[in-house]
């Protein structure tokens, strides 16, 4: 029953180490994906799922049935007190991450924290301090950083196969129906009850595209790629508070700029491509599928071997020196810096009328921005904002400099 204390694992009677106790806070929605990752690890005895938390009844999932003995709670504090998990997966609205993370750290747990981890540099610093004080670690849910294809690309860069890199760009073109924006009170919101949420394309669904570019910039620099200036154009085709379409240009202290061109209102689907251009060649990484094309390749090939973030965290707990975290909180600081720079940006421009095609009904209704994929591709290829390309519906860019 919720709130009942769960006995600790007693399997160490013969000197064996019991598997770490794991809990999921935010078990519905995207939390079901985490439960599917956990299910085979629980079955294999590599971890012990002890609790699920959600404010709504936990949804059934055939791929991740709730094992016998797993307690279900509606309050994470009650769960932490009752089960004392050693690893906590936090998959709740972004604006709740910091408070829940602090509570979990206070009970001695390590964290797998969904992206975006926090929504400001001040929160990032506070969470960093809390981790240090507790002597715990946090892995952030940028799972594409575990891609073997990304490693193959950065290895090629280190070997000089592209020459001097002159530009990094990414394009991703997805579709989201009306139901996506009705999924929760914070969906598509800039703030809730005065607290930043920033549930736009750049911060949430297409954040992986941004982070992949930052990872490549990191590999080129050999250090954290700190952004010093941004230019961004943000658009929307619905009455939401954030962007569903954006082109963001980022400049760093050193190294080439990054151009991010993304939309959730596409006429055609582009899974997500990162293009690295150098003086002697170009590489294309399709980050959701681990497909890569390097200079000299005739075809794009899939590179197997993606490392799971939870398995990496478990291995790091056993061997902190020999197994570094794939996505530690510190590695995501440049991403958080970009969110911080975007927070004061004005409301995205609303595009409507003949620019938008509406298809379907009810929650499945989608809205497509005419020609948006062509615009995004041209932006990515030229490293230019839509307004610089003379796109008729483009507005002026928001510009900001970041503190060093």
Percent of the chain past pLDDT 70, that is, above it, reads 96
User: What's the pLDDT at 194?
Assistant: 85
User: What's the pLDDT at 13?
Assistant: 41
* Phi, psi at 266, each rounded to 5°: -85, 150
- pTM comes to 0.94
When pLDDT is cut at 50, 70 and 90, the band that residue 73 belongs to is very high
Kindly state the average pLDDT of the residues 233-253: 97
pLDDT-wise least confident of 9-18, 26-35, 160-169, 206-215: 9-18
**242, two tokens:** 């954030």
Domains of the chain and any CATH numbers: 11-143 (3.40.50.720), 146-304+346-401 (3.30.360.10)
Distance, in Å, from the CA atom of 86 to the CA atom of 107, rounded to the nearest integer, reads: 8
Smallest CA-to-CA distance from 372 within 217, 291, 283, 268 is with 268
pLDDT greater than 90 at residue 278? yes
pLDDT greater than 90 at residue 8? no
Percent of the chain past pLDDT 90, that is, above it, reads 93
User: What's the pLDDT at 60?
Assistant: 92
109 Cβ partners below 8 Å, 6+ apart?
23, 80, 85, 86, 87, 88, 136
Contact at 8 Å (CB) between 70 and 50? yes
- Mean predicted lDDT score pLDDT of the chain: 95
95 Cβ partners below 8 Å, 6+ apart?
119, 186, 192, 195, 196, 197
Kindly state the average pLDDT of the residues 205-233: 97
pLDDT-wise least confident of 13-27, 186-200, 300-314, 359-373: 13-27
Contact at 8 Å (CB) between 285 and 145? no
180 Cβ partners below 8 Å, 6+ apart?
187, 264
Element (H, E) at 252: strand 245-252
User: What's the pLDDT at 208?
Assistant: 98
User: What's the pLDDT at 127?
Assistant: 98
Q: Residue 269 class from Cβ within 10 Å (0-12 exposed, 13-18 middle, 19+ buried)?
A: exposed
Distance, in Å, from the CA atom of 57 to the CA atom of 77, rounded to the nearest integer, reads: 17
pLDDT greater than 90 at residue 156? yes
Kindly state the average pLDDT of the residues 85-96: 97
Kindly state the average pLDDT of the residues 111-133: 97
Distance, in Å, from the CA atom of 337 to the CA atom of 250, rounded to the nearest integer, reads: 11
User: What's the pLDDT at 1?
Assistant: 43
Contact at 8 Å (CB) between 339 and 350? no
User: Residue 209 half-sphere exposure, CB side, CA atoms within 13 Å?
Assistant: 32
User: What's the pLDDT at 15?
Assistant: 54
Of 312 and 15, the structure prediction assigns the larger pLDDT to 312
When pLDDT is cut at 50, 70 and 90, the band that residue 17 belongs to is confident
User: What's the pLDDT at 361?
Assistant: 96
pLDDT greater than 50 at residue 322? yes
């Amino acid at each position: 029953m919720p709130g009942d204390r769960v006995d600790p694992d007693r399997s160490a009677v013969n000197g064996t180490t019991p598997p770490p106790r794991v809990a999921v806070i935010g078990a519905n929605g995207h939390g079901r994906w985490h439960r599917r990752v956990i299910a085979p690890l629980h079955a294999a005895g590599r971890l012990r799922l002890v609790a699920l938390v959600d404010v709504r009844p936990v949804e059934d999932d055939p791929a991740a049935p709730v094992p016998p003995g797993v307690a279900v709670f509606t309050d994470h504090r009650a769960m932490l007190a009752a089960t004392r998990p050693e690893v906590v997966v936090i998959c709740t609205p972004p604006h709740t991450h910091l408070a829940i993370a602090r509570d979990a750290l206070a009970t001695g747990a390590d964290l797998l924290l969904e992206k975006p981890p926090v929504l400001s540099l001040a929160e990032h610093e506070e969470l960093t301090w809390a981790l240090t004080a507790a002597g715990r670690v946090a892995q952030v849910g940028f799972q594409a950083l575990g891609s073997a294809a990304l490693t193959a690309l950065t290895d090629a860069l280190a070997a000089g196969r592209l020459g001097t890199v002159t530009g990094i760009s990414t394009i991703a073109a997805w579709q989201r129906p009306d139901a996506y924006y009705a999924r929760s009170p914070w969906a598509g919101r800039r703030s809730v009850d005065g607290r930043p949420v920033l549930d736009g394309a750049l911060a949430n669904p297409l954040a992986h595209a941004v982070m992949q570019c930052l990872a490549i910039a990191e590999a080129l620099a050999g250090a954290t790629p700190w952004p010093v200036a941004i230019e961004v154009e943000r658009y929307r085709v619905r009455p939401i508070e954030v962007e569903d379409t954006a082109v963001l240009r980022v400049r760093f202290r050193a190294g080439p700029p990054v151009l991010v061109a993304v939309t959730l209102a596409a006429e055609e689907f582009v899974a997500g491509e990162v293009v690295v251009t150098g003086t002697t060649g170009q590489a294309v990484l399709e980050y959701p599928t681990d497909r890569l094309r390097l200079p000299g390749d005739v075809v794009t090939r899939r590179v197997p071997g993606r490392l799971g973030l939870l398995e990496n965290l478990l291995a790091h707990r056993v061997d902190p020196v020999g197994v570094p975290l794939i996505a530690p909180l510190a590695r995501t600081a440049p991403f958080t810096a970009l969110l911080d720079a975007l927070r004061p940006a004005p409301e995205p421009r609303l595009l409507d009328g003949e620019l938008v095609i509406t298809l379907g009904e009810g929650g499945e209704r989608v809205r497509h921005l005419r020609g948006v994929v062509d615009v995004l591709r041209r932006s990515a290829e030229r490293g230019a904002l839509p307004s610089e390309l003379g796109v008729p519906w483009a507005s002026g860019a928001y510009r900001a400099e970041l503190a060093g």
